[in-house]
Structure 1
Amino acid sequence: METPVEIEVHGINVLPAIGEVLEGHIGELASGSGRIITSGRIVVTGSAHRHRSGGLYDMRIHRALPDRGEIAVDRIDHGDERYSDIHFASNDTFKRARRLLQAEARRLRGQTKHYEPRPASTIASIDPSGEFGFITTPDIQQICFHRNNVLKGAFDRLEPGVHVTFAE
């Protein structure tokens, strides 16, 4: 990482143990991501009205990526009571950040899932009984299909020459 991570804290006093936990998580992200991350910012907000119990921690992580924008982890669900524990809040938020960084690393290595487009063809004929038909594929093969194989009950709208997509 080229620039040190900024840590902002609002509404709480950070104990040394909490600071060490955050630094440990930051180190794990940096070591696991290689040169993907160029800078980062962590914002921890605690409730100003905590009294004896209650109040949820809000933790946000923004990590800059070279020429790729940024990865942002913002906890939106303010009703999850587990976030009243700072350790849970930090573990969960950094776990989400790790997953996003792993996905970005896979994308950069070209290891993303590739989906083949569905083959497109035309309806060659429909049997006069109205129970099945034939599709002619681009390589001039004929594939038989039954009316139950047509999605959304659209068999009655099919006629020869209609372009369709299919899965074998």
Structure 2
Amino acid sequence: MQTPLEITFRDVTPSDEIKALVAEKVRHLETFYDGIISCHVIIQAPHQSQKQGNLFEVTIYVLVPGEELAVRHNQHDVAEHEHLRVALRDAFSAMARKVKRWKDAVAGEVKVHDGPLQGRVVEIHHDEGYGQIIATDHRLVYFHKNSVVDGSFDALEPRDTVELVVQTDESDIGPQASTVRKIGALNYDPKVKKRH
């Protein structure tokens, strides 16, 4: 996460054991999506139930790019939520489902184009035979001189506009172009369209 985990205890005595358990559950959340920005967990015992004693309530706020996901597990006098570990388990299970749904929804908004993917050369090393392109879908794409059509690698300069085809299998260095073709600035369309 980009910011440290925040845990707030309300009417509950803080314990290192519970803090460690929460941290472990947050690490598990990050296995579903590793770009979580922040997480705030609020643990409280708001109800006094004559039958069961304190019933724990767990609220989790997870900040992901462009959205805050929230889960509030109000236990409705469920007897087993008298146990804080069970309340935490249920709240984090609900948050894991939310994170997965959010990630799937974002993946569904894959950028598509009316024509070939385009971009601008941002870095080129003529002596070493490679460069990088910032594509209109915001990916930084590596390319080798052999991928440039018409053998025009040596003519490419930073800020030149290109069309490119990105290999489906990502390499160790990230996205890599299999084909790069220089285009005129007038043909460059930086607008990105979303699939609806």
Q: What TM-score do you get using the length of structure 2 for normalisation?
A: 0.50
8 A contact 2:47–2:55 mirrored in 1: no
Partner of residue 109, structure 1 = 107
Superposed displacement of residue 99, structure 1? 0.4
Amino acid corresponding to residue 79 of structure 1 in structure 2 = D
Partner of residue 2, structure 1 = 2
Name the structure where strand makes up a greater proportion of residues: 2
8 A contact 1:12–1:47 mirrored in 2: no
8 A contact 1:41–1:62 mirrored in 2: yes
Partner of residue 56, structure 1 = 55
Q: How far, CA to CA, are the matches of 1:77 and 1:48 in structure 2?
A: 10
The partner residue of 2:97 within 73, 94, 99 is 99
8 A contact 2:46–2:55 mirrored in 1: yes
The sequence identity of aligned pairs, in percent, is 20
Q: How far, CA to CA, are the matches of 2:47 and 2:77 in structure 1?
A: 17
Superposed displacement of residue 94, structure 1? 0.3
Q: What do the CA deviations read for 1:59-111 (whole angstroms, capped 9, x no partner)?
A: 000111212x2110012342212211001000000000000001111111119
Superposed displacement of residue 55, structure 1? 1.2
Computing the radius of gyration from Cα coordinates, the structure with the larger value is 1
Q: How far, CA to CA, are the matches of 1:100 and 1:47 in structure 2?
A: 25
Amino acid corresponding to residue 96 of structure 2 in structure 1 = R
Name the structure where helix makes up a greater proportion of residues: 1
Superposed displacement of residue 25, structure 1? 0.4
Partner of residue 31, structure 2 = 31
2:7 partner SS: strand
8 A contact 1:12–1:48 mirrored in 2: no
8 A contact 2:5–2:23 mirrored in 1: no
Q: What do the CA deviations read for 1:108-151 (whole angstroms, capped 9, x no partner)?
A: 1119xxxxxxxxxxxxxxxxxxxxxxxxxxxxxxxxxxxxxxxx
| Structure 1: runs of 5 or more not aligned | 112-168
Q: What TM-score do you get using the length of structure 1 for normalisation?
A: 0.58
Alignment length (residue pairs): 109
Q: How far, CA to CA, are the matches of 1:63 and 1:93 in structure 2?
A: 12
Q: How far, CA to CA, are the matches of 2:8 and 2:20 in structure 1?
A: 14
Superposed displacement of residue 41, structure 1? 0.8
Partner of residue 88, structure 1 = 86
8 A contact 1:11–1:48 mirrored in 2: no
